[in-house]
Chains A and B, each alone.
Chain A
Amino acid sequence: MYAFEFHRPSSVADAIAALKAASDGKLMAGGQTLIPTLKQRLAQPSDVIDLGGIKELHGIRQDGNSLVIGAMAKHGEVAGSDLVKSVIPGLHELAGLIGDPQVRNRGTIGGSLANSDPAADYPAAVLALNATIKTDRRSIAADDYFTGLFQTALADDELITAISFPRPEACGYAKFRNPASRYAIVGVMVARTGGGVRVAVTGAGPCAFRLPDFERALAGSFSADALAGLSVSPSGLNSDMHASAEYRAHLVRVMAQRAVKAVR
């Protein structure tokens, strides 16, 4: 690991100030991606700004009909939260499928979304549930947030403070995971929301995306059978040693059908 200056601010304002003052600063949430990246010398930030000491980024609460999860809420907290389980059981279940227990004890929802790994689980939930990403300066709709491979709508000096999930009528998540890393080779969340059916995919493309034809089919008949005749084009999907684009395209439909069956 290359050397860097370390900062542990206690407020969002101080974190942004430290980031702006650094020549090439990097915010660190749970560090479960950043630290392995630093260890492999794949990044060389001048300054690392640890968000672990900022109280306002923690906590999970209900706000009217929404669940508001602080950016620094750990996957294990979401997976262990009775509130999340009662308001959005599918999200509770998804969090418990991320990584392993020790990764879940450190990794955070804000860190996962800021990083936007194509194989991360939370992006599927954020898109399918039509969540809002709250930052230090604005609110970003899920549909506008994911812009490409490890790319998001966040500005370079913007910090996620919380994610607001409107309560769906029901949702379900199905994941075909890499057995070693636990990352999603393909993960699909299906949600019945006040604004209609939403189907979001992670793992298959450069970033999470929705499937409008799947949504229309499920709006007509909310059943796994309604998806049986549909297919997804492998064009533009990820292809690597774990799965070809064609295999991922196949898995998208299979996982979508399983997600429908898992809806509750």
Chain B
Amino acid sequence: MAKVSMTVNGQNVTRDVEPRTLLVEFLRQHLDLTGTHVGCDTSQCGACVVHLDGRSVKACTMLAVQCEGAKVMTIEGLAQNGELHPMQAAFREHHGLQCGFCTPGMIMSAIDLVQHNPSPSEDEIRHWLEGNLCRCTGYHNIVKAIKAGAASMGG
């Protein structure tokens, strides 16, 4: 077993884990943060996207022990004082989901985009979503939601 300490959604956490524990397993099984989903388990679908030190990563393709000392943000960390994050609100407003399985990863990915490109074009949004698969919506409303979310984030 290895001891790992990191900050998850602003809280310091320390746990003993097997080195082979994936970050997504650590979040879901050790911390009960089940908003981060496992879709494909082969690094392709993006349902497990979280932020690591402010950048989006696939939590199924990292070990928890690699996150020693890092700041991790999951979908559960976005809403503040009961208010949805502007990107979450935009996904709801623009119906950027149907079954909702890909949504946490989509939202985490979108926020990374907007933090580094405050007013992305539709083309830039579609390119950015290369690592996030949605099997319901055809992406149209997701793109609309991200454009609106970017605007309300101040872009």
Contacts and interface: CB of A to CB of B under 8 A. Distances in A.
Interface stretch (A83-91, A96-104, A191-199, A231-239): A96-104
A80 B132 CA distance: 20
B16 interface: no
B18 interface: yes
Interface stretch (B50-58, B82-90, B96-104, B146-154): B50-58
Interface stretch (B7-15, B63-71, B136-144): B63-71
B119 interface: no
Contact of B131 (A3, A8, A80, A100): A100
B61 A105 contact: no
Contact of A8 (B65, B112, B130): B65
B63 A101 contact: no
B131 A103 contact: yes
A36 B40 CA distance: 11
A110 to B, nearest CB: 16
A101 B112 contact: yes
B55 A31 contact: no
A150 interface: no
12 contacts: A1-B22, A6-B63, A31-B63, A35-B61, A38-B20, A50-B66, A52-B66, A76-B55, A80-B116, A101-B109, A103-B58, A106-B58
Indicate the size class of the contact surface on chain B. 20 to 34
B19 A32 contact: no
Contacts of A76: 55
Interface of B: 2, 18-20, 22, 41-44, 46, 49, 52, 55-58, 61-63, 65-66, 68, 109, 112-113, 116, 128, 130-132
A180 interface: yes
A264 interface: no
A99 B43 CA distance: 10
Contacts of B62: 31, 35, 106
Contacts of B49: 102
Given A48-B63, A102-B57, A105-B56, 15 more contacts: A1-B20, A5-B19, A6-B63, A31-B61, A31-B62, A32-B43, A32-B61, A39-B41, A50-B65, A52-B66, A100-B130, A101-B56, A102-B46, A103-B43, A182-B130
Nearest to B17: A6
* Closest CB pairs A-B (n = 10): A100-B131, A6-B19, A100-B130, A1-B20, A105-B55, A102-B131, A102-B58, A35-B61, A102-B56, A6-B65
A38 to B, nearest CB: 7
A80 B56 CA distance: 15
Given A39-B41, A103-B58, A31 B66 contact: yes
A172 B52 CA distance: 32
Interface hub of A32, A100, A102, A103 (most chain B Cβ within 10 A): A102
Interface string A90-124: 00000000011111011000000000000000000
B128 to A, nearest CB: 6
A182 B61 CA distance: 17
A180 B131 CA distance: 9
B36 to A, nearest CB: 13
Contact of A36 (B19, B61, B109, B131): B61
Contact of B68 (A8, A32, A39, A99): A8
A99 B42 CA distance: 13
A102 B2 CA distance: 26
Contacts of B131: 99-103
Given A2-B20, A6-B19, A101-B112, A106 B61 contact: yes
Nearest to A105: B55
Interface in A195-254: none
